[in-house]
Amino acid sequence: MHGIVVVGASAAGLAAAETLRREGYAGPLTLVGDEPHAPYDRPPLSKQILSGEWRPDRLPLRTPADLAALDLDLRLGGAATGLQLGERTVRLADGTTLSYDGLILATGVRPRRLPGEGAHVLRTLDDALTLRDRLGPGRRLVVVGAGFLGAEAAAVARRLGTEVILLEPAPVPLAHAVGAEVGRMLARVHLDEGVDLRCGTGVTEVTEDGVLLASGEVVEADEVLVAIGSVPNTAWLDGSGLAVADGVVCDVYGEAARNVYAAGDVARWHNPLFGTSMRIEHRTHAAEMGMAVARNLLAPEARKPFAPVPYFWSDQYGMKVQAYGFLRGHDEVAVVEGDLAERRFVALYRAGERVSGVLAVGMPPKAIRGWRQAVATGAGWHETVSPGALPVVRP
Amino acid sequence: MKVELEADKCVASGQCVLAAMDVFDQDDDGIAILLEDRPAPELLDDVKEAIAVCPAAAIRLVEQ
Ligand SMILES: Cc1cc2nc3c(=O)[nH]c(=O)nc-3n(C[C@H](O)[C@H](O)[C@H](O)COP(=O)(O)OP(=O)(O)OC[C@H]3O[C@@H](n4cnc5c(N)ncnc54)[C@H](O)[C@@H]3O)c2cc1C
Ligand code: SF4
C-alpha cells in the first residue's frame, strides 16, 4: 500500500488531509506544497496583513501541534512537477517520485499578469508583505482590475493614506459577477473614499513609471498592483492525460480519474444543485470541497455528489459583502430588503426560473441565512419575489 | 472536550452555524457566539465539521 498523496498545502489540501484522518484513514499520507510556509490563510492577505493590522504569525491555519497530530509526510518548499496516471506516481521538483493509491489535487490558482516588469500581484504572504511596505501617505498606487481582490487592496491602500487609481476595463466593476446595480453601488463607495476609479480603461502593459493604457495614455504610479483574475495551476499536469479546461475537469463527485480527485480553486466540477459546471475561488468552498473529495476517495461505495451552495465574503472599508449561490450568468437581480443607496440591502439573483443567489451588504447574518435556504432548495423566482411589491432591478 | 472560539479572528461567515446550529450562533455583526462550550457527545461531529469549514480557523477543540 502506497497511501494517499495530496498536492497543494493550503485551504483545500489541508482540509482534505484532516478529513482523511478524521474519517479514520490511518495509512501513509503525504502533503506536498511548493510554498516554504506551513499552510496559511489567504483572505487576510488583502485585508489584515496588507493593512498591517495582523502580524504574519496569525496566518497559519493550524498550530504546529495540530499539524504534527495529523502524522503527515509534509513536503514543503518543492513543487510537484509531473503526474503519471498509469504508474500512479507523482514526480517532485527534487527528482523524488511518490507512489499513491489515492491522489487529491489542490494546487489552487496563480495571478494573471500583464506584459512588462515590476508590478505586484497578491496571492502569497510574500506578495502581501512586499506590497504592504510600499503603501502609505505620499505613495501613489495603480490597481489594475476592480474585482473583489483589487477593490479590497484599493480600500486598504486608501485607508493607509495612499493615493489610489483603480483601473477597470468594464464600464461597471463586477457587473458580470454581481450585476450592474450592485457593481455601481460598490464603485460609488470607492469614489466616496477618494479612490480615483476609472472604468472603461484597459491596461496593455506595465511600464517603468506606471501603466500604459490601451488608449496610448500613460498613468504614472510608484507601485502597480495587477489584479485581473487567475489561472489554475495545472501546467504540471500537462501530458498526464487528465482533462484540463480552465481547471481540472471532475465529475459530480470531484473525481478526475480513477482515485484521483481535485478540490478548491483548481477544480472544475459539475455542481448538480445548479446543473452546471463551475470552478469556484472562495475560501469556504476550498475547505468544503477538500472535505467532500476526501470522503469520496475513502468510501467509493458511499460516494456523494458534491452539491454545495458556494459562499463568499469581501471586506471593503467598513463594509462587508456576503453572497451565497452562483451569481454569474444571472438573468435578473431584485433588491428584496433594504436599499442600495443606504448600503444596507439583500439582493436576490435569478437564473432561469429559480433563485440562484443572494448577496447582502450591511445586513445581520440572520437576514441572509433565510434567503440562502431559497438558493439551496432551488426556490422558484416568482414564488419568492413578488414583482409588484418590490423594486426589481434588471441587469 | 471543550470548544474554544477566537472571536477576534472570526470573519462572520456563518459556516459554523450551518454546521452546528446547537453550538454556534452569530451576533448582529455576524461574529460567532458560542452557545455551548461543552457540547453533548452527539454534537461533536457537527462541531468538528464547523472547525474544518471555518475559514478563519477561529474554532478549536481542547482536551479537558
Ligand atoms: C488576497 C486574497 C484574498 C482573498 N479573500 C477572500 C475572501 O475574502 N473571501 C473568500 O471567500 N475568498 C477569498 N480568497 C480566495 C481564497 O483564498 C481561495 O479560494 C483559497 O485560498 C483556495 O484554496 P486552495 O487550497 O484551493 O488554493 P490555494 O490557496 O491557491 O493553495 C494551493 C497551494 O498549492 C500550491 N501549489 C501550486 N502548484 C503546486 C505544485 N505543482 N506542487 C505543489 N504545490 C503547488 C500553491 O503554491 C498553494 O500553496 C482570497 C484570495 C486571495 C489571494
Ligand atoms: S465559521 Fe468561523 S469565521 Fe465563520 S462565523 Fe463561524 S467562527 Fe466566524
Distance CA A181, CA A381 (A): 19
Residue A133 scores a pLDDT above 90: yes
Q: Closest ligand to B59 CA?
A: 2
State if residue A10 touches ligand 1 by the CB under 6 angstroms criterion: yes
Report residue A393's pLDDT band, with 50, 70 and 90 as the boundaries.
low
- Can you tell me whether residue B22 is helix, strand or coil? coil
State if residue A357 touches ligand 1 by the CB under 6 angstroms criterion: no
Q: How far is CA B25 from CA A333, A368, A380, B7, B19, in A?
A: 29, 14, 28, 12, 11
Q: Is the pTM of this model over 0.90?
A: yes
Q: Name the residue among A212, A282, A189, A51 with its Cα closest to residue B13.
A: A282
Cell numbers that stand for A122 in this block = 497578491
Phi, psi angles (nearest 5°) of residue B51: -60, -45
Q: Name the residue among A314, A390, A320, A292 with its Cα closest to residue A350.
A: A390
Q: Closest ligand to A240 CA?
A: 1
Consecutive H or E run containing A375 = helix A365-376
State if residue A111 touches ligand 1 by the CB under 6 angstroms criterion: no
Beta bridge partners of A357: A325, A349
Per CB-CB distance under 8 Å, the chain B contacts of A283 are 13, 55
Average pLDDT over residues B16-44: 93
Distance CA A74, CA A33 (A): 8
Per CB-CB distance under 8 Å, the chain A contacts of B53 are 15, 284, 287-288, 291
**In A13-32, which positions are buried (b, 16+ CB within 10 angstroms) versus exposed (e)?**
bbbbbbbbebeebeebbbbb
Residues 6+ apart with CB under 8 A from A15: A263, A286, A287, A288, A290, A291, A294, B52, B53
Tell me how far the alpha carbon of residue B17 lies from the centroid of ligand 2, in angstroms.
8
Contact A207, A194 (CB under 8 A): no
Report residue A24's pLDDT band, with 50, 70 and 90 as the boundaries.
very high
Residue A386's pLDDT is 74
Contact A25, A43 (CB under 8 A): no
- Can you tell me whether residue A325 is helix, strand or coil? strand
ipTM of the complex: 0.85
Contact A240, A85 (CB under 8 A): yes
Distance CA A73, CA A76 (A): 10
Residue A342's pLDDT is 94
Residue A392's pLDDT is 56
Distance CA A16, CA A70 (A): 11
DSSP letters for A40-55: B-SGGGGTHHHHTSS-
- What's the mean pLDDT when you consider all of chain A? 95
Residue A228 scores a pLDDT above 90: yes
Beta bridge partners of A142: A165, A224
- Are B13 and A287 within 8 A, CB to CB? no
Distance CA A350, CA A137 (A): 43
Q: Closest ligand to A315 CA?
A: 1
Cell numbers that stand for A155 in this block = 480600500
Residue A355 scores a pLDDT above 80: yes
Q: Name the residue among A211, A194, A210, A190 with its Cα closest to residue A202.
A: A211
Under an 8 Å CB criterion, which residues of B touch A?
9, 11-15, 17-18, 26, 28-30, 48-49, 52-57
Residue A154's pLDDT is 98
Q: Which of A59, A311, A321 to mutate to test the interface with B (most CBs of B within 10 A)?
A: A311
Nearest CB partner across the interface for B13, out of A15, A291, A311: A311
**In A84-121, which positions are buried (b, 16+ CB within 10 angstroms) versus exposed (e)?**
ebeebbbbbeeeeebebebbbbbbbbebeebebeebbb
Report residue A189's pLDDT band, with 50, 70 and 90 as the boundaries.
very high
Per CB-CB distance under 8 Å, the chain B contacts of A18 are 52
Distance CA A161, CA A141 (A): 11
The whole-angstrom distance between B33's CA and the closest CA on chain A is 12
Return the number of other C-beta atoms located less than 10 Å from residue A315's C-beta. 21
Q: Find where cell 470573519 sits.
A: B11
Residue A118 scores a pLDDT above 50: yes
Contact A53, A11 (CB under 8 A): no
State if residue A32 touches ligand 1 by the CB under 6 angstroms criterion: yes
Per CB-CB distance under 8 Å, the chain A contacts of B30 are 320, 322, 364-365
Nearest CB partner across the interface for B57, out of A62, A288, A369: A62
Q: How is residue A119 annotated by DSSP?
A: -
- Are B53 and A287 within 8 A, CB to CB? yes
Phi, psi angles (nearest 5°) of residue A239: 85, -5
- Are A41 and B57 within 8 A, CB to CB? yes
> Which tens digit of pLDDT belongs to each residue from A266-303?
999 999 999 999 999 999 999 999 999 999 999 999 99
Average pLDDT over residues A320-334: 94
Chain B residue with minimum CA distance to A41: B56
Q: What is the DSSP pairing of strand A4-7 with strand A29-33?
A: parallel
Q: Find where cell 506544497 sits.
A: A33
Atom 39 of ligand 1, nearest CA residue: A107
Residue A365's pLDDT is 85
Query: Which range, of A11-20, A37-46, A378-387, averages the lowest pLDDT?
Result: A378-387
- Are A313 and B9 within 8 A, CB to CB? no
- Half-sphere exposure for A362 (CA within 13 Å, toward CB): 15
Return the number of other C-beta atoms located less than 10 Å from residue A205's C-beta. 14
